[in-house]
Amino acid sequence: MQEYALIMRHEDGAKIASPEQMQEWMRQTMDWIGGIAAQDKFVSGTGLQFDGARVVHADKVVTNGPFGEIKETIGGIIRVKAESFDEAVEFAKGCPVLQGEGNTMEVRQITSHS
């Protein structure tokens, strides 16, 4: 079994939704993660704050981030165990983040150093 990162890409929900809608999205996301955990395939995960983010550039210049020129950015990452890349993709397809137009899930295999 391999580990995969499921990377949630979306805009800052707090800018487009009510606190009640945000709470509903969080409940849906926790239910989705719970379904993966029930299969004993959830490893870890975290949401990422949009406010206060900074971007450090190659020339060491620091700008406010995430990236002002794009609408969506990484909003969270979960790590799962899966029998195949296809199974990891199926987990990603169930993420409530995909309800938002333009939102995406990126699936990447985690490098093993064993």
pLDDT tens digits, one per residue of 54-108: 888 899 988 877 665 566 688 899 999 999 999 999 999 999 989 888 889 999 9
More confident residue, 114 or 37: 37
Whether 109 shows a pLDDT value over 70: the answer reads yes
Q: What is the pTM of this model?
A: 0.85
The ranges assigned to domains in the chain are: 2-110
List 4's β-bridge partners, or say none: 80, 109
Ordered alpha helix ranges (H), the chain: 19-38, 85-93
As assigned by CATH, the class of the 2-110 domain is alpha beta
Q: What is the pLDDT of residues 22-66, one digit of tens each?
A: 888 889 999 999 999 999 999 999 988 877 888 888 999 888 776
In sequence order, which residues have a C-beta less than 8 Å from that of residue 18 and are 6 or more positions away?
none
